[in-house]
Homo-oligomer: A and B are copies of this chain.
Amino acid sequence: MASIKDVAAEAGVSAATVSRVLNDHPSVSADARTRVLAAVETLGYRPNAVARSLRTDQTHTLGLVISDVLNPYFTELARSVEEEARALGYSVIIGNADERPDLQDHHVRNLLDRRIDGLLVSPTDGGSPLMLDAARAGTPMVFVDRWIPGVDVPVVRADGRAAVRDLVAHLRGLGHRRLAIIAGPAATTTGRERVDAFREALGAYGLALPDAYVGQGDFQAESGRRVTEGLLDLPEPPEVVFAADNLMALGALDAVRARGMRVPDDIALAAFDDIRWFVHTDPPITAIAQPTGELGRAAVRALVARIEGRPGESVTLPARLVVRRSCGEPPSPLPPLSPAPRSTP
């Protein structure tokens, strides 16, 4: 592969001049510039990003460590992160932690070794020494979705509190009284907060959240299935199951179906995180939707600001309730019978 020296030789100039042309440095003669560009063209030269990074101490790369690629919420997040980063002149390297702290550490270490300019993390746990040290050592960092308390790192996330209140109001309005939740890992903020918000909202209706109605999941489908089976086995099973993420809702659906029971007749179901498929499940699932794309973009903006020495602040966006039919009678009098408003020529 051609190097800058080859280009220099081809153009009859020094490597320094080639570099200046490529970096739009003003003091290059028009003549030299055209000769260099011609040489670049004929050799098909492309600058070696590795060498450039070593010299400039900048990789123009962001690391993104997410908890689970197979979760549509995170892939949507990853997509918007990459999009915004690209618009700002950065590339993104994604690390998938699969909800495993050891894998998370592996990726953080790998990204740090590659000298990425900044790190976007949705932590799987309370934070390993590695990550905390990096933050303290001044690695530009931003937390997305989940965060670690007590660390001086901006947090970009959605606040689901109001939406959870709306959900509980909706459930109460349908007459449900025994409400259970499939929680995420207590080591994650979203794992704790969603339970807290749920309990708080129930409290506002004078309802308690008994321990038996708090199932411990791990944000994976299998745990949703397992927890739901446990809930159904209770002497007094809940009337509603609220899954703290979409994969656990999938698992819950598996469990309910395996018993030959029906949603919402036998048990109601709601989920945190909305995904496109929820419109077409049987029944369509009521969910709390996060502004995922906006979160990803805001996180990148905050991180790039930090990298470039600007402040880079925390952002909290509201989530909202999307009512469908999985908790009981439909929001509208009848399921849609007529075509959608758009014209069909």
A161 within 8 Å of B by Cβ?
no
A39 within 8 Å of B by Cβ?
no
Within the assembled complex, what's the spacing in Å between the Cα atoms of A259 and B338?
A: 6
A330 within 8 Å of B by Cβ?
no
A258 within 8 Å of B by Cβ?
yes
Within the assembled complex, what's the spacing in Å between the Cα atoms of A260 and B334?
A: 11
**Could you say which of B1, B75, B113, B340 contacts A70, with CB atoms under 8 Å apart?**
B75
A47 within 8 Å of B by Cβ?
yes
Q: Is the CB of B260 within 8 A of A339?
A: yes
Min distance, Cβ A158 to any Cβ of chain B, angstroms: 19
Q: Is the CB of A283 within 8 A of B281?
A: no
A54 within 8 Å of B by Cβ?
yes
Min distance, Cβ A132 to any Cβ of chain B, angstroms: 13
Chain A interface size, under 10 / 10 to 19 / 20 to 34 / 35 or more: 35 or more
* Stretch of A76-84, A164-172, A195-203, A301-309 at the chain-chain interface: A76-84
Q: Is the CB of B82 within 8 A of A76?
A: no
Min distance, Cβ A252 to any Cβ of chain B, angstroms: 10
A135 within 8 Å of B by Cβ?
no
Mark each residue of chain A from 1 to 13: 1 if its CB lies under 8 Å from any CB of chain B, else 0: 1000000000000
**Could you say which of B94, B258, B281 contacts A281, with CB atoms under 8 Å apart?**
B281
Q: Is the CB of B44 within 8 A of A133?
A: yes
Within the assembled complex, what's the spacing in Å between the Cα atoms of A342 and B225?
A: 12
Within the assembled complex, what's the spacing in Å between the Cα atoms of A257 and B280?
A: 9
Mark each residue of chain A from 45 to 68: 1 if its CB lies under 8 Å from any CB of chain B, else 0: 011111101100001000000000
Min distance, Cβ A269 to any Cβ of chain B, angstroms: 11
Which residue of B is nearest A341, CB measured? B258
A41 within 8 Å of B by Cβ?
no
Q: Which residues of B lie under 8 Å from residue A106 when comparing CB positions?
A: 86
A99 within 8 Å of B by Cβ?
no
A34 within 8 Å of B by Cβ?
no
Q: Which residues of B lie under 8 Å from residue A94 when comparing CB positions?
A: 94
Say yes or no: A258-B50 contact (C-beta < 8 A), given A79-B69, A96-B79: no
**Could you say which of B91, B133, B221, B339 contacts A258, with CB atoms under 8 Å apart?**
B339
A250 within 8 Å of B by Cβ?
yes
Within the assembled complex, what's the spacing in Å between the Cα atoms of A79 and B103?
A: 13
Q: Is the CB of A233 within 8 A of B344?
A: yes
Within the assembled complex, what's the spacing in Å between the Cα atoms of A280 and B257?
A: 9
Q: Which residues of B lie under 8 Å from residue A280 when comparing CB positions?
A: 250, 253-254, 257, 281-282
Query: Which chain A residues numbered 98 to 157 have a C-beta less than 8 Å away from chain B?
Result: 106, 109-110, 112-115, 133, 137
Q: Which residues of B lie under 8 Å from residue A345 when comparing CB positions?
A: 233
Min distance, Cβ A112 to any Cβ of chain B, angstroms: 7
Q: Is the CB of B337 within 8 A of A260?
A: yes
CB-CB nearest 7 A-B residue pairs: A282-B282, A258-B340, A277-B277, A49-B113, A260-B337, A280-B281, A49-B114
Other than the given A50-B53, A70-B79, A260-B337, 5 more pairs (CB < 8 A) read A46-B112, A46-B113, A254-B279, A280-B282, A282-B282
Q: List 8 A-B contacts (CB under 8 A).
A: A46-B113, A69-B78, A93-B93, A250-B277, A254-B279, A258-B339, A260-B337, A282-B284
